[in-house]
């Protein structure tokens, strides 16, 4: 095996290893995002696109060269077989054809897995961002719910005070106190309405994020199935 095809085989084995590591179930996308945020990766990101395109171009060239070699030796193989040449020349053509087919598989699988690897890293990053956004929205919803409960409890307490049905309270409230309580009730109602609107908005955003996360998970699972079928 020549140097170039040894390098292609090394790239292929490395891609398989990296994809298997990325598929480990006990490493969450959030942890992968933290790993990708290391300063080393941020420095490599500057050259990542250039390196990705360079390797894509080289693999495509090698793939096309392997296709050309297969077509060349296939035609020679048919001609030699029809001419009934000696067995040593026929075996030499067979060996060349086998190597060309091997190179075709190496370059083809390397090209495919390189694209899968790029897409997998992108999906993991997007899924980690969506999960973080989903967690933040859930926190906001919980805070809004607690605030709404608090305002509702205060509203009920003030209404009981206004109607004179509070237990253990005296009914000696003056008109000024009633007016003040009414103002507080109106203020609390306005705050409750704002909180309720924020709660519904956050709930809608959570549903949208869940739907988008499900779509990313389905696409990620689809890529994993293709990778398993390829293996």
Of 19-23, 60-64, 148-152, minimum mean pLDDT range: 148-152
Quote the distance between the C-alpha of residue 181 and its chain's center. 53
Q: What are the structural domain ranges in the chain?
A: 3-135
How far is residue 173's CA from residue 161's CA, in Å, rounded to a whole number?
Answer: 9
**pLDDT tens digits along 146-180:** 888 888 887 787 777 767 644 444 445 556 676 77
Q: Which residue has the higher pLDDT, 124 or 219?
A: 124
- Asked whether residue 81 carries a pLDDT value surpassing 70, the answer given is no
> What's the confidence (pLDDT) of residue 195?
75
**Amino acid 61: pLDDT:** 92
Mean pLDDT confidence for 191-208: 77
H helices present in the chain, as ranges: 3-22, 29-36, 39-83, 87-163, 175-230
* Residues 71, 74: Cα–Cα separation, whole Å: 5
Q: Which two tokens stand for residue 200?
A: 């519904």
Cβ-Cβ contacts under 8 Å for 8 (sequence gap 6 or more)? 59, 62, 103, 106, 107, 110
Name which residue leads in pLDDT, 104 or 52. Answer: 104
> Rg for the chain (alpha carbons), in Å?
34
- pTM, rounded to two decimals: 0.56
């Amino acid at each position: 095996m020549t140097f170039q095809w040894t390098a292609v085989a090394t790239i292929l084995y490395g891609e398989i290893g990296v994809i298997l590591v990325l598929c480990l179930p006990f490493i969450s996308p959030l942890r992968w995002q933290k790993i990708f945020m290391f300063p080393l990766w941020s420095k490599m990101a500057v050259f990542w696109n250039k390196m990705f395109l360079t390797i894509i171009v080289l693999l495509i060239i090698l793939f096309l060269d392997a296709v050309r070699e297969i077509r060349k030796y296939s035609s020679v193989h048919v001609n030699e077989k029809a001419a009934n040449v000696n067995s040593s020349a026929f075996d030499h053509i067979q060996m060349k054809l086998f190597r060309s087919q091997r190179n075709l598989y190496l370059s083809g699988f390397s090209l495919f897995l390189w694209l899968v690897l790029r897409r997998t890293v992108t999906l993991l990053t997007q899924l980690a961002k969506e999960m973080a956004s989903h967690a933040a929205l859930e926190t906001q919803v919980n805070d809004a719910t607690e605030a709404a409960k608090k305002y509702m409890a205060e509203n009920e307490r003030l209404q009981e005070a206004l109607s004179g049905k509070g237990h253990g309270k005296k009914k000696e409230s003056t008109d000024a106190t009633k007016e003040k309580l009414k103002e507080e009730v109106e203020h609390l109602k306005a705050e409750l309405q704002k909180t309720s609107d924020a709660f519904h908005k956050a709930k809608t955003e959570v549903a949208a994020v869940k739907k988008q996360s499900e779509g990313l998970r389905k696409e990620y699972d689809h890529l994993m199935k293709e990778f398993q079928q390829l293996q």
